[in-house]
Amino acid sequence: MDAIFLGRLGLTPKQAIEAYLKLEPALSVGPAKDDEERKRNSEAFKAAFIEVLSDANLDADAPMLDPDTSKART
């Protein structure tokens, strides 16, 4: 997650920590018991991630691929 927050989303370390704290409650702590629970877990994480993107003024439907190949890759 840190690579996405700091790299692709361009968040500062403080913003990345705040984003992680928003996502943390939506992370499941163990395997889902059934498909219904998996669906609920996925929907909760998706909603939290969309909120993080919105807070960073990014479109949730934008591709994660960065077309700028001049940036250093690590």
5: in domain: no
42: in domain: yes
Q: How many domains does the chain have?
A: 1
Rounded CA gap, 35 and 45, in Å?
15
Please report the pLDDT score of residue 56 as a whole number. Answer: 84
47: in domain: yes
Rounded CA gap, 18 and 1, in Å?
12
54: in domain: yes
Alpha-carbon distances, residue 41 vs 23, 56, 68 (angstroms): 12, 23, 33
Tens digit of pLDDT at every position of the chain (74 positions) = 667 777 777 888 888 899 899 999 898 778 889 999 999 999 999 999 999 989 888 888 877 666 666 765 55
Q: Domain range holding 52?
A: 35-59
